[in-house]
Amino acid sequence: MHTLDGVTRGDQYRALGLSTFAFTVCFAVWTIFSIIGVKIKQELGLNDTQFGLLVATPVLTGSVSRIFLGVWTEQFGGRIMFPLQMMITAVCVWLLTSVTSYPVFLIAALGLGLAGGSFIVGIAYTSRWFEKERQGTALGIFGAGNVGAAVTNFAAPFLVVAMGWEGTARVYAVVLAITAVLFYILAKDDPVHEERKRTGKGPVSTADQLAPLKNIQVWRFATYYFFVFGGFVALASFLPRYYVGAYGLELTTAGVFAGLYSLPGSVFRALGGWMSDIWGARAVMYLTFVVSLIILFIMSYPETSYTVEGITGPISFNFGVSVGVFVALTVVLGFMMSLGKAAVYKHIPVYYPHHVGSVGGLVGMIGGLGGFFLPVAYGALLDLTGVWTAPFMLTFVMVAIMTVWMHVAIRRMERRRHPGLEQERFLSDVPDEPVASPAHVHPAK
């Protein structure tokens, strides 16, 4: 299989390896409040709604910033934007340790949230190094940097015990700053940026970069990502709190169990990219939604006691999900969400090869907003209902609506565009709507 002109396999592996490592570190920083937030909650006496807002605030910045960072990465190159984003975030994480009040914690969390913007920087940078046939796999491997959430869930609780939450934050800031310096030294300018420097051609304007966002297809991809990524981030942040409250576990044990969810939700994204290259992203999305619905239905069922009138008198029995079964369910759920994350981003560099930053930024922003709103909603549901499984009920309803919407929308469009459509073609990756983009962009056939 050929590579891009002037690009060697070594160049591709260098770009992919550096981007994946940097994204892993950034994602670990982005989810740090899932662990240190538990200690801050105890120190400040926060209720579940306030805790949910604290955990979700970094996700807000990391989401909204993606569309801007995506456009700037298209214009100035990932070798500049990635280290710059990491260094600014490292400073914010370090300053977090001097905060003492809840409102200022929220402000500091906004700065820490820039770590989440690293995703679209890496997507835009990495995609430029690979040919179309290998982009799904490459971006899936890069997306496995979500394993940073598992790193935080596994390691941060022990750092907190040994050094306190302030010392943990300082360690994270130092590691992030070192990563920024190493990336700048070791990385190369991507082929597109090199070509622009060689020809003297300026970057594409912001207006041209944002042109495809009028296409409904882009917003549909973003809706799917609201669950597969936003839901992943939300659950990674919420599960430690759930295990501590619902099952009475120690924070270290809760962190390990939450890490067991985050790990497959990250490392198998590469498999999802490969499956999307081979069988099509649409089929992978159907698989993700259907299996997730089954798992979420079981997770949603609260601990319940039943009493029925038997022949000889009342018969009582209980139903509930044991902690072992629950952990197993989260592992499978994380695995399915990792496949879905890769499937969503498989399409973008194929349909929008010159707009990966802006289109991927919008999809990432909407998905990230799921990671902001869902933890807040989870905390509010706990305060309002007093039922530990209420957050999973909300997630089930959300996924059910998305699944029906996706199926109905795709079926209607395909019947209109391809009368007598065969099932095989229905599951294949054909463009759903005309691609709205400048004339030099050609959608994948």
The structural domains of the chain, with segments of one domain joined by +, span 9-426
Alpha helices in 187-231 (DSSP H): 191-199, 206-210, 216-225
* Both structure tokens of 306: 């039943």
How many Cα neighbours within 13 Å face the side chain of 24?
Answer: 20
Nearest alpha-carbon partner for 18 in 194, 190, 259, 136: 190
Q: What is the C-alpha separation between 58 and 35, in angstroms, rounded?
A: 13
pLDDT in tens, the chain (445 residues): 455 666 788 888 899 999 999 999 998 998 888 788 778 888 888 887 788 788 778 878 888 888 788 888 877 888 899 999 999 999 988 888 887 788 888 888 888 889 988 888 998 888 888 877 777 788 888 887 878 877 887 888 888 889 888 898 899 999 999 999 999 999 888 887 777 767 766 555 556 666 666 677 778 888 889 999 889 888 988 898 899 888 888 888 888 898 889 778 767 877 888 888 788 778 889 999 999 999 999 999 887 777 888 778 788 777 778 889 999 999 999 999 989 988 887 777 767 776 666 677 778 788 878 877 888 889 889 889 988 999 999 999 999 998 988 888 778 777 776 665 445 444 555 444 444 444 344 333 3
Give the global pTM. Answer: 0.68
Q: What is the pLDDT of residue 424?
A: 47
pLDDT of 200: 64
**Dihedral class, residue 45 (left if φ above 0, else alpha if ψ from -120 to 50, else beta):** left
Nearest C-alpha neighbor of 39 from the set 232, 168, 149, 171: 168
* pLDDT score recorded for residue 98: 82
Which residues lie closer than 8 Å to 250 by C-beta, 6 or more apart? 244
Predicted pLDDT at 207: 63
Beta-carbon contacts of 162 under 8 Å, excluding residues fewer than 6 positions away, are none
CATH 1.20.1250.20 for the 9-426 domain, yes or no: yes
First vs last C-alpha separation in the chain = 20
pLDDT at 439: 39
277 neighbors 138 (Cβ within 8 angstroms): no
Based on its alpha-carbon atoms, the radius of gyration of the chain, rounded to whole angstroms, reads 22
DSSP string computed for 350-417? HH-TT-HHHHHHHHHHHHHHHHHHHHHHHHHHHHHH--TTHHHHHHHHHHHHHHHHHHHHHHHHHHHH
pLDDT of residue 150: 78
∠ at Cα 296 (290, 299), nearest 5°?
A: 150
- Between the alpha carbon of residue 291 and those of residues 87, 288, 408, the distances in Å are 39, 6, 18
